[in-house]
Amino acid sequence: MNAIRLITFLLSSVVIVVSVPHHGWASETLNRIVGFVNDDVVTLHELNKEIRQRTGSTVDELKAKDNQGFIELRRQVIDMMVEEKCIQEQVREQEIEVTSKQIDAYIEDLKEENQWTQEDLVALLNAEGLTYEEFWDDIKKGFERDRLISNQVTGKIVIREEEIRRYYEEHSADFATEESVHLAGMIIASNNTEEAEAVLARLKNGEDLYELVDLGTLETDKLDPELKKVVDLLNVGEVSELIFRPNGIQIIKLLGRHEKGVKPLEEVRDFIHSILYEEEANKRYTAWVEDIRKQAYTDIIF
C-alpha cells in the first residue's frame, strides 16, 4: 500500500465521538472524514452544512422525505465540494489575491441594494445557518474563483463573426416573428361620450396625454377580434375612433407595426454572442476542471 493511500486509510478511520446519555452512556458519531483532496479533507459536518445551505433542509428532513433522492443529492454536493477545493488549491498555487477592501465594498453594495442594515444581514445569515465571517469568506472565495476562471478559461474565449452568422442561419426559426403591433391606449370609465370625444379630439390634434398608457407590442392574431378590426384600419401614429366597452370607452393609438418575418442579425447579434460564449465557457470549464482534478489526489469515502 503506497504512502498516500495508507494515510487515506488511516485518516478515514478517524472519527469524532461524544458520549450522549441514552439509557446509560453510548457513543454517537458526529463527524468523520468523507473526502480527500491532496492534503485537505472534507468532513461530514462540512458536507451536512453545505447540504443545509443549498437546500434549506436538514439531512434528517431530506432523508425522511426521499432517502434515495438524498443519497444522490449528497453525492452531487460532495462532488462539488471536492471540485471547489481543487479550485482553491489552484488559487493558492497561482497566488491569486482579493483585498478585504473589495469584499467589504461588495457587501456594502449588497446591503444598499436590498436596504439592509448590518444587523439585518447578520440575522438573515444566521437564519441560514451562516455566520458573518463564513459569509465573508465565501465571498472571498467567489472573487478568487472568478478571477482564476477568467485567467484560465473565459479570458481566452473569442467568438468569431462567422460563428455568429452560422448560428443565426442555422437557428433562423428561433428568431422568427409574427405580425405584431405596438399600441397605446386609455379607458374613459365614466362612459361619458361627450368627455370621450373631447379627449379624442385633443389626441387627434397631436397632444400627448399622460392618460395614454403604452400597452407594449402585441401579436396581431392574439388581439381581441373587435380590437383587431380597429387596429387593421389604422396607420402608424393614428388614433382610433371611440370603442365602446362594458367597462368604459376605449381609445387606441397605433405606435408601430411589425410584419411577419425574421429578426435581422444586428438585432440579435449580442444575444447570439452570449449563447455561443456561454457554450464555449461551459465546455472549456468542464475540460479544465477535469484536468485539475486529474492532477490532484481525490477520494470520496461513503
Cell of 249: 370607452
- Of 49, 44, 51, nearest to 30 (Cα)? 44
Question: CA-CA distance, 240 to 187, in Å (whole number)?
Answer: 13
Distance of CA 133 to the CA centre of its chain: 24
Whether 29 and 14 have beta carbons less than 8 Å apart is answered as no
The confidence score (pLDDT) of residue 27 equals 35
The confidence score (pLDDT) of residue 59 equals 92
Domains and CATH numbers, the chain: 179-259 (3.10.50.40)
| pLDDT one-digit tens code per residue, 254-275 | 999 988 999 999 999 999 999 9
| pLDDT one-digit tens code per residue, 162-195 | 999 999 999 999 999 889 999 999 999 888 899 8
The confidence score (pLDDT) of residue 30 equals 66
Residues with pLDDT less than 50, the chain? 1-28
Which residue matches cell numbers 451536512?
48
The confidence score (pLDDT) of residue 29 equals 53
- Measure Cα distances from 97 to 91, 94, 101, 148, 287 in Å: 8, 9, 12, 10, 24
